[in-house]
Chain A
Amino acid sequence: PLQPLQAKPVPKRLGVSQRKPREPELASSLIKGIFRHYAKMPVARDAFKVVEKCSERYFKQLSNDLEAYSRHAGRKTVEMADLELLMRRQGLVTDKMPMNVLIEHYFPMEYRKLLIPIAVCGNKVIPSK
């Protein structure tokens, strides 16, 4: 005799999500893409691993520095000025290479629009209605 047709019980997932919370990190494909773009020559696969490690260390150092700068100014918020100071210390921003020029060189228009008016106006507070 035929058994009544029954859908196979699908094992129900327990909990809301099975996804493990991942450590926040930049996609390796992004880091690779940027590095490859600037390297302008072939890069061995293992060399990318070194670049990723260096990037991790870079962000760790950057976080420490930004904390030190903002704390030094008596703030808990990292302001644009802290980043400008950081990039000055790194020798990226100089008198001959101002921040705005770097922004224009490295960023697409949509980001420039967000950054340049702020960079130009400095700390002036525009009264908001």
Chain B
Amino acid sequence: MSLLHLAILSPLLLAIAIPLLYKYFRQIHTGWFVLPLPIVLFIYFLQYISLTREGSAMIKSIAWIPSLDINFSTKIDGLGLLFALLITGIGSLIVLYSIYYLSKDKEKLNTFYVYLLLFIGAMLGVVLSDNLIVLYAFWELTSFSSFLLIGYWHHREKSRYGAQKSMLITVFGGLAMLGGFLLLYIMTGTFSITEIISHSDQIFTHSLFVPALLCVLLGAFTKSAQFPFHIWLPDAMEAPTPVSAYLHSATMVKAGIYVVARFSPIFAEDSLWLSLVAGFGIVTMFWGAFSAVKQTDLKAILAFSTVSQLGMIMSLLGVGAAAIHFEEIDNSYFTVATTAAVFHLINHATFKGSLFMVVGIIDHETGTRDIRKLGGLISLMPISFTIALIGAFSMAGLPPFNGFLSKEMFFTGMLGVAEMNILNLDTWSALFPIIAWVGSIFTFVYSMIIVFKSFTGKYQPEKLDRKPHEAPFGMLIPPLVLAALVIIFGIFPNILSETLIAPAMMSILPGFSFDVHISFWHGPKPELFMTLGVAVIGTILYLTLAKWRGVYGLLPEKLALNRFYDEGLEKAQYGSFRLTSTYMNGFIHTYLVYIFTFFIVILGTTLFVKDALSIDTANVAPVRFYEVILALIVAVSAISILFAKSRLTSIILLGAVGYTVALLFVVFRAPDLALTQLVIETVSVALFLLCFYHLPEISRSEERIRFRMTNAVISIGIGAIVTLIALSAHSTKLFDSIAHYYVENTYEEAAGKNMVNVILVDFRGFDTMFEITVLGIAALGIFTMIKLRLARRKEG
């Protein structure tokens, strides 16, 4: 086990210790015990920068299930390192924030930090695994820990609803992804991502390639809240704000981005990948931004904004992956797109994290997140306002913050789509920059809403539960750090380009050389005018918000995706209930009809499909007079049972059948059977009479069996099928009977002359042993059923 493995597993190990620490150090906030770990991990991961900036990677592997090619192999390269740094870096800040956010006395901190540590470990495992199955295992662990964290306040119904929703959607995608992974294994014969990438040109033409691609994308899209799977994210906002900030803006929702980036070298050979990733990304970007403006809850705005930003990164990755597909054309656009994707990934984590934390502070200090109740907090919470301003302006894409740079590059990439027509969508490509631009306008509008609706305007103390004031300093440190990063990355973007962005791009687009040039962001290019347009139109739209808000009412409630989900879930439950109650109606009669129908259909089909029906009379013994008589008696008595008026007649007719069968045994020379049959028939008829005698009075009204067509058809069918099978089986004897052995050896080997008895007690005594056991169990069963009448004893 290398240090890297230990780093991944350390949060899980610490999680074991947390409940003890919580129990025995009640005076200290449990978060303080957690805090050192992500910091140490962050520093640990920082040292790998020197390794990855050369474009090299480190793989460490320990055997887990080597026979199935499942090994806990970890790989640290540019992309993995970038994510690992995000996870541990933001993780440290979140833990610090949560120490001030969650009350030591009111909350169950032990569970919170156990879940959080599970999540950190799982997330590190996802981004650093080189084995598909291990990746999937950690992937599901993120889903589960996220489920637990969303439902942290499990006494609230909305938390439970949100947790369930996110669970259903992400696990749905996760399972699809597992399917994709298995298909990849079938195609390449290995679970190692590195090896699969080296085989990527061979699997391109494989028939399973497209299914694998779709399955993996489904997993990535559900996790990263892409349209139309984004609906779980706004409902996940019921989680405590540190969780929302960490999971639902910076880390978990980027797991899908990670998977898309990681698998681009494999799948981007196919243009389907490009159009799906870019297409769904841009739609998500627009839809998220458009929906965010409608929200009145700050966290809901941020949730939709996260959806939108994730869509933006996704579409950039899709465009960037075109470099692999189109090797002949100039790849400067793709380079820009991929750079923008990676850069915006970092930027989004910084500004969204800080915005979430500010929203958490507002919530914490005022008791509400509703923008209709908030306003005029600027003078009360100046530091929070500053942070929110920086974060929101960066999100809107305004200079001099980092969001401006990535938004410019986003436009460059999208213009590239239109210009190069790379997605083979002809005129559709032209839509990309337009949608991107319109989406950015909405982004601008909701960014302004977040800042100005809550901090400026009229202060409404009467609507607030408590008297707001600035947050404690400890709570302000994490957003301040992130806001500072927003500015630093905005002004000095190149401190990232060499160290993190270029190595990450080498992992996404292997075999390309990069000259990451974030620095030249000045110059009158179309992108600049697009940004200007965004700012101008965005400002106008923001100021006239009240006038055009009615637009949102135009979308009928029926088409809303949430309604689709809710009704789908309800219909699925109701439908399966209906379905089950139609065929599981509780009547034994119905179940027998099913069983017999299947019997007829399956055996009948087999008989005809296999062409097994054959009637050969060569081996038939001559029919004798006695047999005909006895068979007639059996048939007549059996048929008479159906028409018998009274039960007594039926019982006696049944006895007649039994005794005739005993006679048949006599005729067919089976004395043992005849003896036993006679005695047993007597006993069972006596038992029938007993049952008959004890029937309750009310239902004693004796009437004939009612005729039902289905019953008649089924019973005739069963009889016919069994007869046909018996005849066919008799006609096709494939080998001799083994009876000769018994005939020859009964006396020699077993010293007996009654062959039946010798077989019963000697050759196959094992069966007899258990048959008498069955008899014993039956007797004891009857004894207990009659003697042990708990229900009646209680009554009496």
A, B in one complex: no
A residues apposed to B, CB below 8 Å:
none
